[in-house]
Structure 1
Amino acid sequence: MSHASAAALLDRVHHTEDPQVVQRVITLVDTEGVDIIAQLWSNAEPDSLPGIMWRLYLLRTWMRRNREQIARLWRFGEPVATTASAIVGVDETPDAEDIARTADSILSGAFTGDFAVALDRASAFTDVIANGLRVQAHRITAAQQERTSSSISDGDERLAAHDAQTRAARLMHTAANLLTTSRDFREGAHLWRRGRLE
């Protein structure tokens, strides 16, 4: 069911010229809720069409809900425009609305353009955000070390250092998860080009 529904949805939208159909499919999670898609696709393997579709919808939802934070992470992760900026279609200083537009653009590209290119864009995007998370984690750790070395270590300072380490560790964990998702997108693009993403 999950494979058939993902293939049918992708095929139907690829063969329509109606922009309203495309918009309804892009905003499916917004209008119907994530539970419907989760029931269909969340247990699918990442190297399958429903598994990749699930990840694309989650990426869009996450980007739109956290657009300001993600815009900041992009600036940390891609301080100078590189090939990632060109692939994703984001300049080096995006704002929250740029992130929301990019989220929609990546997902709509999966339905209206070359599916593999949309996956490449999603992969490049998640790579930059993962790098931004790592940069932020290192900044938190460095700032805490500087504070600790310039003050007498007491109970409050040890607690603050522990809190900073915990925040940094969470950011690094999220970055690792995003890098895994990025690899899933790249592998999905490779399989799609070979006609093996089902």
Structure 2
Amino acid sequence: MAADFHRPTRFPPALFDGFIGGDDPARLNRAAHDTAAALLARVRANPDPEIVARLTAYTDLHGIDAIAELWAGSSAKSLPGALWRIYLLRTLIGQDAEALSLAYRRGAEVSHTIDQVVAGAASPTGPEEVRELADRVLHGVFTGDFAVALERAAAFARVSAAGFTSLADDADATDAAHPERSGALTRRALRLTELADELGACARLWRRDALD
């Protein structure tokens, strides 16, 4: 695999022959762990700006499905699981930056934690600011403190979850004729809370050198 790392955004199909679509979950799991560890180690050891930029924009060019094939089925508390969740959060932000920025702003107003400080989004926080934050977090995965990148992503998710919860309460009070809106906002809050918990757990494992 070392020979292919000059082009890290293009995973050679031969690498996954016998894994993707195979019958052995253990082999699929091992492939996910091996590719995640190799990718992270190689890029962090030599963080060429062009390579990091290409990895940051990978799902923009190839779609989230390309990452999902690699890592989506991995345990939430694993290295491939952590990478999948970082890419997934960036994709969610990219696809609905308007709603995420609104939720983040509301969450920053109603939550009484330091999460917005940890997340580090620019203020005032609009769609462009949350997109920039997502890129900085993913950039930090490859060039900075990996645990800090995970913690920033977790903090953003928690603040946004608080915002969606607050918006759901507003919808309950003002739009009783359409309870599905409140329900949809609540589900987004729950999913982001779950995502934050998973990313936070991965950060703690990484700091203990126990994130495989």
Residue equivalent to 2:84:
54
Q: How big is the alpha-carbon RMSD for the aligned residues of Structure 1 and Structure 2?
A: 1.5
Superposed CA offset, 1:138-159 (max 9, x none): 01111135xxxxxxxxxxxxxx
Corresponding letter in the other structure for 2:174: A
Moved more, 48-57 or 29-38: 29-38
Which whole-Å CA distance do the structure 1 matches of 2:122 and 2:67 have between them? 31
Which whole-Å CA distance do the structure 2 matches of 1:50 and 1:35 have between them? 14
Higher helix share: 1
Report the TM-score, using the length of structure 1 for normalisation: 0.87
C-alpha contact 1:141 1:168 (8 A) present in aligned 2: yes
C-alpha contact 2:47 2:142 (8 A) present in aligned 1: no
Aligned-pair CA distance for 1:58: 0.5
Which whole-Å CA distance do the structure 2 matches of 1:54 and 1:17 have between them? 20
Report the TM-score, using the length of structure 2 for normalisation: 0.81
Aligned-pair CA distance for 1:77: 0.7
Residue equivalent to 1:93:
124
Q: If you compute each CA radius of gyration, which structure gives the higher value, 1 or 2? A: 1
Instruction: Determine what percentage of the aligned residue pairs are the same residue.
Output: 39
Aligned-pair CA distance for 1:36: 1.8
Structure 1, unaligned runs of 5 or more: 146-160
- The number of residues matched between the two structures is 181
Residue equivalent to 1:12:
42
SS at match of 2:121: coil
Aligned-pair CA distance for 1:25: 0.9
Residue equivalent to 1:154:
none
Pairs within 5 Å for 1:75-114? 75-79=105-109, 83-114=114-145
SS at match of 1:196: coil
SS at match of 1:70: helix
Structure 2, unaligned runs of 5 or more: 1-30
